[in-house]
Amino acid sequence: MSVTTLPDAPPADVVAPRSRRRPGRTLLGAGLIVAVLLAGLSVPYIIKDPYTMGLVLEMALLGLPALGIGFLARHLGLISLGHSAFFGAAAYSVGIAVNRWDLSLTAAVGFAVVVGTLVSLVMGVLVVRASGMGFLMLTLALSMALWQLALQTSFRPWTGAHDGLLINAGADASFLGMGPREIQDPGLFWAGVWVSLMGAALVLWLVGRSRFGVLLEGIRENEERMRFSGYGTFLPRLAAFTLTGVVASLGGALFAVNAGYISPDILGFTRAGDSLIAVLIGGPASLAGPLIGTGLFVWAQAHLNFGGNLHLFTGIALILVLVFLPGGLTGAVQRIARALRKGGSR
């Protein structure tokens, strides 16, 4: 039909996002996140087994940087291998603040989030001008720089170099009203982590659907055109990058408090790759995708790691997902749902 081929008729997928951005849906999503938050608080009462509870806690802790990686991929199209650096920097900061300066755990967590955020700000200044492959390579290189620094023998008094860092919070340590024994108990520590995770998810959801989120998507689609339209693109990219850095740092700080020991591996190449793979397998196109992917990854790490062959499987899974299911698991579910809806309306 001639009407549909008119050049100034907007194509369907340009209209679609606008109609999807109804305030009702934003509120619905926010309400859903709050409901999941409240429901999730009951998890320690359902899972009695401390080992399983520990795994679930690890999923939630690693879910924080994954949320950040997913947000950058979704709204800016940037694939980051650097978020393990913010997670690790914050974890090390907790250890250094407690061991060297006798800060309380609560103050140390605050300090750690600030340090992690600063690291992400500095890295952001250096990398957000790049995109695509360049961005991936630069975030990898700079996070490896941090790993090398943590391993330096001259920093042994602070980071413990290859030995890792044991956090000596003392017998009277307390964090959010919990004593040293409760902190290490995954069931009791759960509430704080879960609230942080869902709080971060809520913030990222609302930011993604705000005016700022639309601006980011504009930059993702065509950076040059956004600049022609009078928008600065450097600061919004930097702000988004740093915001995800805050989320990842929060995860690292809470991880350090709960684990009480930091291995330099958390800054390493393998960890950086693992968290990105988890996000890609879950599918970065939705808010829940990175969390589902991270959950699956932690589960696989615990149950499929026979003979140390975990990376053989994750490598194969990554390739299969990228070749056959681009968009990850949640992307596939969304595609099926969309196809069903289309079929139903016909």
Partner 1 sequence: MNAAQLLNGIALGSLLMVLSSGLAMIYGLRGVTNFAHGALYMSGAYLAYTLSDRLSFWAALVLVPVILAVIGVVLEMVFFRPLQHRSHIELGLITFGLALIAERLVVLIWGEKTLSVDPPPGLTGTTSVLGVDYPTYRLGIIVVALALAAILVMWLRYTRTGLYVRAASQDIETAGIMGIDVNRVSLIVVSFGAALAGLAGTLAAPYVSLDPNMGNSFLIIVLIVVVIGGIGSIGGAMVAGMGLGIIQTVSTVWSPSVAVVVPYVALVVVLLWRPQGLAGKRVS
50 touches partner 1 (CB under 8 A): no
Helix (H, G, I), strand (E, B) or coil at 298: helix
62, 278 contact by CB (below 8 A) = yes
Q: What is the DSSP string of 227-256?
A: HHTT--SHHHHHHHHHHHHHHHHHHHHHHH
Residue of 98, 56, 86 lying closest to 191 (CA atoms): 56
Q: Nearer Cβ to partner 1, position 35 or 145?
A: 145
322 touches partner 1 (CB under 8 A): yes
Could you tell me which stretch among 152-160, 183-191, 210-218, 298-306 binds partner 1 (CB under 8 A)?
Answer: 152-160
The binder of partner 1 chosen from 28, 312, 336, 337 (CB under 8 A): 312
Alpha carbons within 13 angstroms on the beta-carbon side of residue 267 total: 29
Residue of 86, 128, 53 lying closest to 272 (CA atoms): 86
Could you tell me which stretch among 107-115, 188-196, 320-328, 331-339 binds partner 1 (CB under 8 A)?
Answer: 320-328
Q: What is the C-alpha to C-alpha distance for residues 273 and 143, in angstroms, rounded to an integer?
A: 11
285 touches partner 1 (CB under 8 A): no
Q: What is the C-alpha to C-alpha distance for residues 337 and 283, in angstroms, rounded to an integer?
A: 15
Residue of 231, 230, 337 lying closest to 285 (CA atoms): 337
235 touches partner 1 (CB under 8 A): no
Q: Quick one: CA torsion of 29, 30, 35, 36, rounded to 10 degrees? A: 70
Could you tell me which stretch among 16-24, 101-109, 251-259, 308-316 binds partner 1 (CB under 8 A)?
Answer: 308-316
Residue of 45, 143, 44 lying closest to 92 (CA atoms): 143
Could you tell me which stretch among 165-173, 230-238, 286-294, 315-323 binds partner 1 (CB under 8 A)?
Answer: 315-323
323 touches partner 1 (CB under 8 A): yes
Q: How many residues sit in the footprint of partner 1 (CB under 8 A)?
A: 39
345 touches partner 1 (CB under 8 A): no
83, 235 contact by CB (below 8 A) = no
Query: Least CB distance from residue 133 to partner 1, whole Å?
Result: 5
219 touches partner 1 (CB under 8 A): no
Q: What is the C-alpha to C-alpha distance for residues 7 and 2, in angstroms, rounded to an integer?
A: 10
129 touches partner 1 (CB under 8 A): yes
102-111 in b/e burial notation, b at 16+ Cβ within 10 A?
A: ebbbeebbbb
Q: What is the C-alpha to C-alpha distance for residues 330 and 336, in angstroms, rounded to an integer?
A: 10
152 touches partner 1 (CB under 8 A): yes
The binder of partner 1 chosen from 50, 132, 170, 232 (CB under 8 A): 132
168 touches partner 1 (CB under 8 A): no
The binder of partner 1 chosen from 316, 336, 339, 340 (CB under 8 A): 316
The binder of partner 1 chosen from 253, 277, 278, 329 (CB under 8 A): 277
Residues numbered 57 to 86 that lie near partner 1 (CB under 8 A) are 79
Q: Nearer Cβ to partner 1, position 50 or 326?
A: 326
Binding residues for partner 1, rule: CB under 8 A, are 79, 126, 129-134, 136-138, 140-142, 144-145, 148-149, 152-154, 269, 273, 276-277, 280, 308-309, 311-312, 314-319, 322-323, 326
